[in-house]
Structure 1
Amino acid sequence: MGTPEEPIILAEHGGLVVAERGPEVILVDRGSGPTEIVVFVLVVVTLVFGGFGLVSLLPGAIGGVSGGPAWLGVALLAVAGAAATAMYISAKTVRRRRSGPLTSFTPVAIFDRSARVYRDGTGAVVAPLDQVRFERRMQATSSSAKLVAVTPDGTRVLKRGNPFGGGVGDLDAVLTRVVHGAPR
């Protein structure tokens, strides 16, 4: 048995990918949300500590009244340098995950248009495809929406968006069109 064929990417937003593999529409989460949040925090730390470090060292360096002890400015710049290094490494991790093959990730959901069923990532049948609809809903703890699949048995969260990774965009409309429309 060979390796599974690489799905064709139809849409991608915030690390969530809608792809097509034959009659199946698969939804893959590249799982970069927490790392994107870390990158954002490290950017803020770099700017704040670097800014305060420069402000404390610059007046003394140009002959004005010192903004504070030099060791403090150097320590602040050292923290900024460490944060910038960690940010660079984290950003490379995000880029590497986004450029990796989809077959290396476990799908969040599989919508089989030929069998007309919605399966979860483990392959268990969740609902008949004609009884599934996709929506964006607000989250209580975030300014970004989440993407859900509404079935007769309840609502399943497909992806919780975060403001640092781009949210879920219009993937609800893309899924509706691709899953319930005619296969290509």
Structure 2
Amino acid sequence: MAEPTEPVVIAEQGGLVVAEHGGAVLIIDRGNGPTEIMTYLLVVITLVFGGFGAVWIVHTSTDAPSSVPATLGASLLLIGIATAVIAGFLIGARRRTRQRPLSTFTPVAVIDRTHRVYRDRFGRFVVPLDQVRFTRRMQLTSSSPKLVAVTPAGTHLLKRGNPFGGGIGRVDEVLNHIVDARPN
């Protein structure tokens, strides 16, 4: 029977995908992190500037005495509308990235179950599978942990989690289970 050309998803959390392709398990980062963070910031700016702008325009149009000129309110509303449009483009870009086939992404690491080895993003041998563990580590600049592979050769960063894209979830447990499973 022919091997499927597209990897089969085992687990997915945010932009991190664990997929099976034949005897290999691919760890794929879709690279959504910066887009997710920027989208969040733009939505906040949209709500703040657009909201204040709309309130000021309504307030000045009701003939109530106001120390805030209507042009300031209109300017804030325009900033809110502009950031909403940009956020919409980013949301569309993220949606297109999620719809791309997994085979178009380069894996950040490969668990080669056939040869029982862990490989890096370039396909180079790193260590045998019994010498690798996957774990979460805290990041100094984020409330979300990062996913790393710990080997005797060192620690290898696989994915920086961010709170706006769903973090890394329990992908470390899934990967450790895959590593611990013995072939039939």
Normalising by structure 1, we get a TM-score of 0.94
Listed as ranges, the gaps of 5+ residues in structure 2 are none
Q: Aligned letter for 1:101? A: P
The Cα offsets for residues 38-76 of structure 1, whole Å up to 9 and x where unpaired, read as 100100110110111012111122232235111111111
- Structure 1 unaligned blocks of 5 or more: none
Is 1:150 the counterpart of 2:146? The answer is: no
Render the CA deviation track for 1:49-106: whole Å, top value 9, x for unaligned: 0111012111122232235111111111111110000000001111111121001110
SS of residue in 2 equivalent to 1:141: coil
**Aligned equivalents of 1:65, 1:183: Cα separation in 2:** 77
Alignment of 1:139-178 (within 5 A): 139-178=139-178
User: How many residues are aligned here?
Assistant: 181
Following TM superposition, by how much is the alpha carbon of 1:179 offset from its aligned partner in structure 2, in angstroms?
Answer: 2.8
Kindly report structure 1 stretches of 4+ aligned residues shifted beyond 3 Å.
none
CA distance in 1, matches of 2:33, 2:182: 32
Identity, in percent, stands at 56
Q: Deviations over 1:144-173 (max 9, x none)?
A: 101111111111111111111111100000
**Residue 67 to residue 9, structure 1, CA distance change in 2 (3 Å):** farther
| Distance in 1 between residues matched to 2:182 and 2:32, nearest whole Å | 31
Relative to the length of structure 2, the TM-score reads 0.94
In 2, Cα distance between equivalents of 1:6 and 1:68: 58
What is the DSSP-based 3-state SS (H/G/I as helix, E as strand, rest coil) of the residue aligned with 2:108? strand
Aligned-residue RMSD, C-alpha: 1.4
Letter in structure 2 aligned against 1:18: V
Spell out, residue by residue over 1:113-134, the C-alpha distance to the aligned partner (whole angstroms, 9 max, x if none).
Answer: 0101111111111111111111
Counterpart position of 1:54: 54
Q: Alignment partner of 2:6: what SS?
A: coil
Change (3 A) 1:163 1:140: same
Aligned residues of 1:57 and 1:68 also touching (Cα < 8 A): no
Q: CA deviation at 1:182?
A: 4.2
